[in-house]
Amino acid sequence: MPDVVRVREAEPGDDVVWPLVRKSLADALGANCAMRQEEGRTLKADLAARMTSLGEVVARVEALSPGVSRKHAEALRKRIDQLVGDAKVSEERLVSEIAVMADRLDFTEELTRLRSHESQFNATLSNGGEVSKKLTYLLQEIHREATTIGSKASDSEVIQQVVVLKEETEKIREQIQNVE
């Protein structure tokens, strides 16, 4: 009689399948962790390099800083000479105005804070752990200081460096999106 007896291979039970699944799962998770650790090392190196680049831009701004007040003072003297011609101008009053202008243009405090944020960023990166939020916050502060410098300086060379500083900050911020 047909189909009265059928031969069928027995399916392996959980006791046979589970060890295979467990090994495959452990191998996959191990490979995933290794890949994430390698990606983390690469991101850390990239962020450190970008922060070094950002520090070089800050150094250029620091080098330009003393010249900003001097340029503006010279421009003010020249402009006053053009406006008053041969009329006599009080040197004391002119020096007072130049001092006020120099104080308004001074962005030394912002440079100091930028260096502090740079140092904190590098320390946070070195310490490891969950750093994404702190690094994002420090980048916001770096961006804020760069904006203030650009506003205060009113100097094309400094503003060009501020633009580079903001571009680098944005590149770093985008990379931080990949950090946990």
Contact 171, 50 (CB under 8 A): yes
pLDDT digits (tens, 9 = 90+) for 48-64: 999 999 999 999 999 98
pLDDT band, residue 1 (cuts 50/70/90): low
Residue 136, token pair as written in the block: 């994002």
Contacts of 113 (CB under 8 A, 6+ apart): 141, 145
Angle made by CA atoms 125, 126, 132, in degrees to the nearest 5:
25
Indicate if the pLDDT at residue 33 is higher than 90. yes
Counting residues of the chain whose pLDDT is more than 70, the rounded percentage is: 98
How far apart are the two ends of the chain, measured CA to CA in Å?
67
The model's pTM is 0.73
